[in-house]
Amino acid sequence: ENLMRGLAPASGMSEEDESIGALKFGPQELKSAVSGVSHLVIPGNVRQAEHFLGILQQVCAFLRAYIRVDKARAEGPLMFLHDLESQQYIEARTMKAFDARLRSLMNTLKITDIDEFSPLTKICDLCTLASLHSKGFAVLTDPCPEAEGIYDPQLELSCLDAAIAMRPVVRRYKNVVLTSGTLSPLSMYPKLLGLDRVVVSEALDISLERDCIRPLIVTRSNDIVLSSSFQSRKDEEVSKCYGTLLEELVQVVPDGVVCFFTSKVFMQQVVRVWYDSGTLARLSTHKVVFFETDDVVSTTIALSNYREACDQGRGGLFLAVARGKVSEGIDFDRHYGRAVVLFGVPFQYSLSRRLRARLAYIRDTHGISEGEFLTFDAMRAAAQCVGRVLRSKQDYGLMVLADARYARADKRKKLPPWIGKFLIPAFSNLTVDMAV
């Protein structure tokens, strides 16, 4: 009861402010990012619904002109707000309340179909976030986001600083504990999350009853180096070698095998080679093959059927993408994941304008080089993938890292200790034949 009574005073809002604050934010992410708006008073020039909608029309007119560019550009929130204010005479102070005012209006009108007004909600979110944060965000405009020569301009407000989301948590709570099996290396996280008062930073050893995992690094097949680098992707022989490795594994590994590719495009490219060479047909004779797709419903059905195939003793082979839904949130415990194979190193697309903007921000703010962050991020994604195979102390499975770059010390050192201690030198530079 004391805790319940203390919630309202702790928030620092009056009863009137609370009634407004309850209407402000929908998604939890936005709540955290714009938590400072809780103490705002709605400016007088947007209190009337007609005035507010008129200002939104001005913003939409500005964005229509702003997005028409011939080449990609990136600028900070301050420059974006300066252009908006100089052309439409709308102050940043007014735009800070856009999100709260829109939700208040929709509540007054008793609108239940919020999805119908999703575009307007995004515009208000854009203005509110850009007004609240002078640093840590970038406004990105790209005339051809899908492919070169296909004009379909896109405007994006990209968050460059993960500390923005953590800041309200650190301010509100006296002690914050972050735990994960893939927080490695630990020294990187306080910088990225803005944790300047870290008291304890410790990698706790995970005690396993037996050697229940066996990480393998497969670097080559005969005289062909295995790699998912941009140059190697054009070589169909590399894709065929990946297929040979998987063919050998599915014949000796029982039940379920899960494979991750570095990207959707890479998976499509490799599977096309496997189909043309007959590899896919041969794989299907040993296990039922399933794919992760962009459609959530189709992927959910595929996962259900994959588990059914494993339960029935037929065995399943699930092909998925690193950083996707399957790699981040689906557990392949027990017989659903007796082996996981990661084809390539899951680096982010280095020419992405969003990534380039974030790398520049991290370099200037935290002094972290581009190469250091990209390697850290890739190995974190790799650990997420291979970690799907071990979900309890009674579980066991095989982890196959199929790329020559995993044999380098800078990559191996960034794997979580509970994986690294089982990665012995004898299994750190194998051929396809030696691995099987």
CATH ID of 2-165, from 3.20.16, 1.10.275, 1.20.1070, 1.25.40: 1.10.275
> For residue range 112-131, what is the model confidence (pLDDT) as tens digits?
888 888 999 999 999 999 99
Q: What is the model's pTM?
A: 0.81
Report strand pairing: 339-343 vs 256-261: parallel
In the prediction, which pLDDT does 17 show? 37
> For residue range 308-321, what is the model confidence (pLDDT) as tens digits?
999 999 999 999 99
Q: Give me the amino acid identity at 317.
A: L
Residues of the chain with pLDDT under 70: 1-40, 199-210
> For residue range 185-202, what is the model confidence (pLDDT) as tens digits?
778 888 899 888 776 666
The dotted CATH code for 213-435 is: 3.40.50.300
Crossing angle of the two packed helices 49-66 and 118-132, in degrees rounded to 10 = 80
Q: Structural domain boundaries of the chain? A: 2-165, 213-435
DSSP bridge pairs for 218: 402, 430
In the prediction, which pLDDT does 297 show? 94
> For residue range 338-377, what is the model confidence (pLDDT) as tens digits?
999 999 999 998 888 999 999 999 999 999 999 999 999 9
In the prediction, which pLDDT does 35 show? 46
In the prediction, which pLDDT does 416 show? 86
